[in-house]
Structure 1
């Protein structure tokens, strides 16, 4: 089905690994929008400087946090502040170092977010969060994720409940921090910055990514 919507996908570290793990998600995105991909700094810059205005930009790995991509990050901030959507997901949470993540969010986006827990647990949709699509998001699901701390609850699409515990074959089912979130969508200027902490290829996470990209 023809579509005029365009999504930029920036895989600045390992495009092949991302495609191998998240091929199902990319196939779904390609059914809903024209996908233009960048595998390095120059390709990303060319897309950002082109006349094409994307529906959203999906950044799929932690390469964006490195100094060599500072100019790309600056343009992403400009894009969001003027009404665009940028989503950090895919392999991003799997490979970003905690100090790099905290520095990136603080220095680039002026946000206090930092790495929290890393575990599998069941999280529930936060109906009070901002920017939620009108329908189709799962009401709750289990995911293994890098959670963020110091996130305003209005930006947390999913949160653990009082009944959420660590789901593991190794560790005891202890309670988890209900203030930490694996799925964030925050207002920045007149646009939105998303973070997906899931480290696996969960079908429910695919749906969340589509929601953040404006494709549901």
Structure 2
């Protein structure tokens, strides 16, 4: 089973389901999950090489403290070595936009940039099935999110438009030997739950076409 390390530093415990009510039971049935509530604990698990997947639920890794910078460096290196890292949960709602742009460019080597915080319809793009499977994902929905611009079509999972400009609600790209995912949603509904599972390659056939609530316990 994959090992999933959840980084939750700002008081909203993932394990208490304050983020996504039904996601944790799904993860626990498909992976080994550990939640780090301190930077030191996260550094210990990452340096041990334990996780296959990192779920970053808040923007502590983007802050300017020495500890945060050290953690960011470890996350970037570990991602490049083969880990799947997903920025999700409260990350988009609380991150500093300029700092996120800087990290995406300088640390992860991506063109992605913050576009706007807004609400509009998004649609599922044609996807590389080796990167992420689409079978459990809904084709369209309306989402309030921090959208990204300058995301290549091949790296856009869900996209929409604000005027003439294409925006990405969710993006996924190869970074070195690993992958970086971004979900800009600021609500914790069924669509981003399904998307997180798909990015982790932990989606199942039974997830398709049914409410997440029907499988939760």
Alignment TM-score > 0.5, same fold: yes
SS in 2 for 1:199: coil
Task: Measure the CA separation in 2 of the matches of 1:43 and 1:56.
Answer: 16
Distance of aligned partners of 1:72 and 1:119 in 2 relative to their CA distance in 1, 3 Å threshold: same
Alpha-carbon distance between aligned partners in 2 of 1:197 and 1:50, rounded to the nearest angstrom: 30
Residue in structure 2 matched with residue 133 of structure 1 by the alignment: 133
Spell out, residue by residue over 1:37-93, the C-alpha distance to the aligned partner (whole angstroms, 9 max, x if none). Answer: 1112101101112252x2311000011101331222222222222222000000000
CA positional deviation for 1:27: 2.8
- Between the two proteins, the alignment pairs up a number of residues equal to 199
State which of 174, 187, 191 in structure 2 corresponds to 1:200. Answer: 187
Distance 1:14 1:153 in 2: 35
Q: Is the 8 A contact 2:12 2:19 kept in 1?
A: no
Q: Unmatched 5+ residue regions in structure 2?
A: 204-217
Unaligned 5+ residue runs, structure 1?
A: 162-174
Deviates more, 1:140-149 or 1:8-17: 8-17
Query: How far did 1:200 drift?
Result: 0.2
Q: Which shifted more, 73-82 or 16-25?
A: 16-25
Which stretch of structure 1 is more off in the superposition, 24-33 or 189-198?
Answer: 24-33
Tell me, in whole angstroms, the C-alpha distance in 2 between the residues paired with 1:182 and 1:59: 17
3-state SS, counterpart of residue 20 of structure 2? helix
The question of 1:8 aligning with 2:31 is answered no
Aligned-residue CA RMSD (Å): 2.0
Q: How does 1:1-216 map to 2 (within 5 A)?
A: 4-16=1-13, 19-52=17-50, 54-67=51-64, 68-128=67-127, 131-133=131-133, 135-160=135-160, 176-216=163-203
**Residue deviations 1:168-204 (CA, integer Å, cap 9, x gap):** xxxxxxx545511010001111211000000001101
Q: Output the CA distance in 2 between the equivalents of 1:111 and 1:79.
A: 16
